[in-house]
């Protein structure tokens, strides 16, 4: 997808591209099964943009497990209009048990903004390398004051803290901060929700716009989570991230991105048998659950539901795992920087990925 095509489709309102997403987090007694903090997400992109999973161990500092985006075409993500740095972690869990996931925000272009804001890529790298807790990560974003491109971010840590913050070129805001002593749930989609920043949404992205998919996905996620309150664990989060409510709505009606669907597990399509060269269909290319208390990153390639594609434009989705597989940390004696691929952009678990799994029999099937 070329940037000029993005501009045509947005009327010039939004240039940044990373991921369309639904995010959910839970912590505390009466909310999660064991009182620990969990966060989960789906990663929505054009089907020819994939995530892969790797372990990153910088020299002399703590490592992390996380996803990275990659283009499967001859054009890089930057050439295609994505504001994503090479090597950028898009979801991550570090060795201290601090985890994050994020959703891009469709931000309006007309208001005055902080043009010299630090990049989200730099902040997320510092967070994974230097921070150990949710409080550390919040302090990092507060010190930055703003970032570019704009994101809605969920944070969780091994001691049970959970937070939802929003950060973009108009500032940052901590929407919620929960703990085991102050339990709760959080949800995020592709728009600002805080009173401080809500007026900086692009007009077609606001949560009140029933034509976009933000409201439908958030409401459905909340409905499911409230019904499972007190019983939320990796398996139940996996079922939420595999949900197909609102799938019957026509993806071509979505004003944010044509051919991007309305269900949490997103099966966006133009209902074509060939993959187009522009106006690309968007859908869920992976799903992720981070369990900081166990320092496990649960990853599902493709659709977490595991269903086969209905149309030819849903490329690579026939490789969907239909289950969440746990990946953990392994000891390293090397003092050098190491980057190890655990699961490829084609959905194959590497030998290193097999070794990193705490117990391969614990893979959780959903759908």
pLDDT at 330: 84
Rounded to 5 degrees, what are φ and ψ at 37?
Answer: -90, 140
- Burial letters for 293-309: b for 16+ Cβ neighbours within 10 Å, e otherwise? bbbbbbbbbbbbbbbeb
CA–CA distance, 201 with 197 (Å, rounded to integer): 8
CA–CA distance, 185 with 40 (Å, rounded to integer): 12
CATH of the domain at 331: 3.60.60.10
State which residues form the domain around 101: 3-365
Per-residue pLDDT of the chain (367 residues; tens, 9 = 90+): 333 333 333 333 344 455 789 999 999 999 999 999 999 999 999 999 999 999 999 988 999 999 999 999 988 888 888 878 889 999 999 999 999 999 999 998 766 666 689 999 999 999 999 999 999 999 999 999 999 999 999 999 999 999 999 999 999 999 999 999 999 999 999 999 999 999 999 999 999 999 999 999 999 999 999 999 999 999 999 999 999 999 999 999 999 999 999 999 999 999 999 999 888 999 999 999 999 999 999 999 999 999 999 999 999 999 999 999 999 998 766 677 899 999 999 999 999 999 988 545 556 666 4
Task: Return the H-helix or E-strand segment holding 342.
Answer: strand 338-343
Rg (CA), the chain: 19
Let me know: does 296 contact 283? Beta carbons within 8 Å.
Answer: no
Domains: count for the chain: 1
pLDDT at 291: 98
What DSSP character marks residue 307?
Answer: P
pLDDT at 17: 56
CA–CA distance, 199 with 175 (Å, rounded to integer): 15
Let me know: does 316 contact 50? Beta carbons within 8 Å.
Answer: yes
Cα angle vertex 267, ends 266, 270, to 5°? Answer: 130
Q: State pTM to two decimals.
A: 0.93
């Amino acid at each position: 997808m070329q940037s000029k095509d993005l501009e045509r489709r947005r009327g010039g309102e939004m240039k940044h591209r990373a991921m369309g997403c639904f995010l959910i987090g839970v912590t505390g007694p009466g909310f999660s099964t064991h009182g620990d903090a969990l966060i989960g997400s789906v990663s929505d992109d054009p089907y020819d943009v994939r995530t892969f999973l790797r372990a990153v161990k910088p020299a002399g500092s703590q490592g992390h497990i996380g996803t990275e985006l990659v283009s499967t075409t001859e054009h890089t993500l930057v050439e295609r209009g994505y504001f994503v740095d090479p090597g950028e972690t898009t979801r991550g869990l570090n060795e201290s048990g601090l985890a994050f996931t994020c959703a891009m925000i469709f931000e309006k272009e007309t208001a005055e903004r902080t043009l010299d804001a630090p990049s989200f890529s730099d902040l997320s790298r510092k967070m994974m390398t230097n921070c150990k807790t949710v409080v550390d990560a919040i302090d990092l974003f507060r010190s930055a004051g703003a970032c570019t491109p704009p994101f809605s971010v969920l944070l969780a840590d091994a001691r049970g803290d959970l937070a939802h913050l929003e950060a973009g070129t108009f500032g940052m805001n901590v929407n919620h901060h929960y703990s085991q002593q102050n339990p709760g749930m959080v949800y995020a989609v592709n728009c600002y929700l805080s009173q401080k920043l809500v007026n900086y949404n692009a007009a077609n992205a606001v949560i009140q716009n029933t034509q976009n998919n933000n409201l439908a996905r958030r409401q459905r996620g909340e409905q499911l989570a409230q019904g499972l309150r007190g019983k939320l664990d990796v398996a139940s989060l996996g079922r939420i991230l595999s949900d197909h409510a609102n799938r019957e709505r026509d993806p071509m009606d979505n004003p944010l991105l044509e051919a991007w669907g309305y269900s949490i597990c997103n099966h966006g399509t133009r209902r074509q048998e060939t993959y187009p060269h522009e106006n690309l269909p968007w859908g869920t290319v992976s799903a992720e659950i981070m369990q900081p208390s166990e320092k496990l990153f649960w990853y599902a390639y493709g659709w977490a539901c595991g269903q086969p594609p209905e149309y030819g434009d849903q490329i690579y989705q026939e490789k969907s795992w239909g289950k969440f597989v746990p990946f953990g940390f392994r000891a390293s004696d090397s003092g050098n920087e190491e980057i190890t691929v655990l699961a490829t952009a084609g959905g194959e678990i590497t030998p290193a990925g097999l070794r990193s799994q705490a117990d391969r029999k614990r893979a959780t099937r959903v759908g």
